[in-house]
Structure 1
Amino acid sequence: MKITANQKNLKKALLVVERVVSRNTSLPILNNILLKTENGRLKISATNLEIGINFLIGAKIDETGEIAVPARIISDFISNISDEKVSMSTKNNILSIDSDKYKTQILGFDTKDFPIIPKIKSSPFCEIQAKLLRDSLAAVFDSVAVSEARPELAGVFTGFDKGSVVFAATDSFRLTEKITNLKNSDHKILILPRNTVAELIRTLSDTEGDIRLLIGDNQIAFANDDLEIVSRLVDGSYPDYKKVIPEKFISRVLVDKNELEKNVRLTGIFSSNISDIKIKCQEGKLCLVAKNSDRGEIESEVESVLKNEPFELSLNFHYLLDGLKVINSPKVIIEFTGQNSPLVLRQGDGGKDVVYLIMPLRN
């Protein structure tokens, strides 16, 4: 292999693919990045056997070829040089990198042991703007279960239909549903693994344009002309979470989102080791109370509009902050549905694209 590439483009590609590289002692080849010439461009690939990423950049190809090199070494080196152009060549599993100011050699590996990242050959069933996909996944990500005890909950429910896609996640303490409009899509229901969702949120933050979605044998690919992320899907069926979302409420409160968020943070300073705060909703005001035997206590008030009866309950203030984060209207609606029933957060402007539930703490 003998190529010349732009340092900035190479750095960007390496930083993207490096994140999925596994620090694997039993399979050392997974600690590497694959460099390969393909169709007049340089393809940079990495996989941890759950997620695979291919990133293609423009390059001047003098000789085709491929090599696997340690991810951290090549990424650190390319990230810390400032020369505009980088020349790379391979011989006897050694990668030589030359620029105006530097000449280096990195010991590489034969690519025959590098795992094949599956190529999904089916036609795209859906296209979605990269930013829209990223924002929708970010909205539900905090509610994904961390534990793998129930694998389906350690993922994001994704339901495609004509005109929309529904993303939902729950760890049984809170639940988020985000509905996003689409121009067109085939009907499909699947579960995206937590790690894949995290990687998509990170990678798509710097990606513009549309992303094509392709489904294969229990796998999904997210692709554009330069980037491809291939992931396995979670086996099993997602619980029917819709049954948990209350259709009626006992009381409803309208409150300024930023004011409530600020006061929740202040009240949380004095919460106990279970992060509990008490919410008391009365006519014209919402009170937040917390007490800690080692720190002290606090009571704060936020102006609000109450419909129906006053109520009070205790909940985890971190979960409440996570819910306020996904509400993108100036005001937020809080619905009380009973002492041992979920507290529901909705958009204050009447929008129905986001619903967030929190289970209250038992007194």
Structure 2
Amino acid sequence: MKFSIERAALLKAVSQAQSVVERRNTIPILANVLIEAEGSDASFRATDLDIEVVDKAAAQVERAGATTVSATTLHEIVRKLPDGALISLTADSAAGRLTVEAGRSNFSLATLPREDFPVMATSEYQSNFKAPAPVLRRLFDKSKFAISTEETRYYLNGVYMHISDSEGSKVLRCVATDGHRLARIDAPMPEGAAEMPGVIVPRKTVGELRKLLDDDDMEIAVSVSETKIRFATPDITLTSKVIDGTFPDYTRVIPQGNTRKMEVDASDFARAVDRVATVSSERSRAVKLQLDEDRLVLSVNAPDSGAAEEELVVAYADERLEIGFNAKYLLEIASQVDRENAVFLFNSSGDPTLMREGNDMSAVYVVMPMRV
């Protein structure tokens, strides 16, 4: 195998591959990237047996072939080579080496046979549809903060993507929760997605997928089966197993009867919460909200380090209310608001609170209160 490739194209492909590779591997081949050169393309494939990513890049192929080499080492080399360099990669399968040349730099890397590289079994996908990158980006970006990190509740360690009903029309919905807060984000259902099975997309896959969604003009091809999900652009294909579990009935957690309504400038609110939480050494310190007519007082009382209080002007016309929340959860939810105003709907100091962006019902957040 022998081919030449632009540094920028190689760096992009190898970056994507090495981020999938697990740092601590008991199986040596899983630390490697499979490089295949044929025609006018080179493809770079990496897997951790749960996720597989394949990135294609244009290359000048002199001799077709394939080999595998350490993803991290190759990434470090390419990253340190000068911008604009043309990089030549030559594999000598008899010697088990890959030579990487650019200008006066020359590296010789150990390889492992391509036959040992595990390729993820193809799946029969029940549903295939296309969605614009900004739509998928919004669905996952606004929900991922609520993914649980508790390994025992593995079925909450991802984003539940499914088709649902919202006010009489079908929507593509992403939901994440860790039991303390919940995010439910809707987008219009793409054509061809009606038969999609509901799947839980793992946290790591959500992180890798984010790298595919930066181009606002890109359409992403999505394929879903009961066990796998695949996202594809013209250059990159990301395939992942989905979490084998049942996502709980989240609709029971979303309060329907919260009538006490507070409207507040989202960025002012987030900054005020951040400021009063400063006196607390623990990030989970409760922030107390005291609501009176058109007035909100935020306060933190940390016996060891001090106390803080800040007042905000809000739109609130219901009876007086005192309620406490984890400061970190409030900040994460407030930072999701793209519009100017956040609307909080309360019931009592012991009930879950609902938050949405203005009158937009396509993004709904729930946060559980804390005792203060």
* TM surpasses 0.5: yes
Query: 1:71 maps to what in 2?
Result: 71
Of the candidates 145, 155, 179, which is equivalent to residue 172 of structure 1? 179
Q: How does 1:1-363 map to 2 (within 5 A)?
A: 1-82=1-82, 83-91=84-92, 92=94, 93-120=96-123, 122=125, 125-160=128-163, 164-184=171-191, 185-188=193-196, 189-205=198-214, 208-216=217-225, 218-271=227-280, 273=282, 274-348=284-358, 350-363=359-372
TM-score by length of 2: 0.92
CA separation of 1:262 and 1:78: change in aligned 2, threshold 3 A: same
**Residues 275 and 208 of structure 1, relative CA distance in 2, 3 Å threshold:** farther
* Deviation for aligned residue 1:128: 1.0
- Give the paired residue count: 362
Q: Distance in 1 between matches of 2:268 and 2:189?
A: 33
TM superposition score normalised by structure 1 = 0.95
The one-letter code matched in structure 1 to 2:256 is E
Question: Does the Cα contact within 8 Å between 1:267 and 1:290 map onto a contact in 2?
Answer: yes
In the TM superposition, residue 119 of structure 1 has moved relative to its aligned partner by 3.4
Once the 2 structures are TM-superposed, how far is the Cα of residue 163 of structure 1 from its aligned partner? 5.4
The structure-2 alpha-carbon separation of the partners of 1:38 and 1:180, relative to structure 1 and needing over 3 Å to count, comes to farther
Contact 2:181 2:367 in 1 (8 A): yes
Q: Distance in 2 between matches of 1:261 and 1:43?
A: 44
- Matched-pair contact (CA < 8 Å) for 1:272–1:291: no
SS at match of 2:146: coil
| CA shift for structure 1 position 203 | 4.1
Following superposition, the deviation at residue 53 of structure 1 comes to 0.4
SS of match in other structure, 2:288: strand
Contact 1:125 1:186 in 2 (8 A): no
| Higher alpha-carbon deviation: 196-205 or 331-340 | 196-205
Question: Which amino acid in 1 is paired with 2:253?
Answer: V
Q: Secondary structure at the match of 2:23?
A: coil
Q: 1:123 to 1:342 in 2, by over 3 A?
A: closer
Cα deviation, residue 305, structure 1: 1.0
Q: Quick one: distance in 2 between partners of 1:345 and 1:137?
A: 18
Alpha-carbon RMSD: 1.8
Contact 2:260/2:345 (<8 A) preserved: yes
> Any conservation in 2 of the 1:124–1:212 contact (CA below 8 Å)?
no
Q: Deviations over 1:56-100 (max 9, x none)?
A: 001111111111101111111111112531111111221111222
Q: Distance in 2 between matches of 1:215 and 1:242?
A: 23
Provide the C-alpha distance between the structure 2 equivalents of 1:272 and 1:84, rounded to a whole number of angstroms: 49
Distance 1:34 1:304, change over 3 A: same
Contact 1:159–1:187 (Cα < 8 Å) also in 2: no
Alpha-carbon contact 2:279-2:307 (below 8 Å) kept: yes
Deviation digits for residues 129-150 of structure 1, max 9, x if unmatched?
1232122201111101001212
d(CA) in 2 for partners of 1:243 and 1:65?
55
Aligned to 1:327, the other structure's residue is in SS state: coil
Once the two structures are TM-superposed, the CA of residue 102 in structure 1 deviates from its matched residue by 1.5
* Cα distance change of structure 1 residues 119 and 58 upon mapping to structure 2, 3 Å threshold: farther
Which one is further off, 117-126 or 88-97?
117-126
| 2:155–2:244 CA contact under 8 A, matched in 1 | yes
Amino acid paired to 2:183: T
Pick closer, same or farther for the CA change 1:216–1:305 going to 2, 3 Å: closer
| Identity across the alignment (%) | 25
5+ long unaligned stretches in structure 1: none
DSSP 3-state at the match of 1:289: strand
**C-alpha separation between the residues in 2 aligned to 1:209 and 1:123?**
23
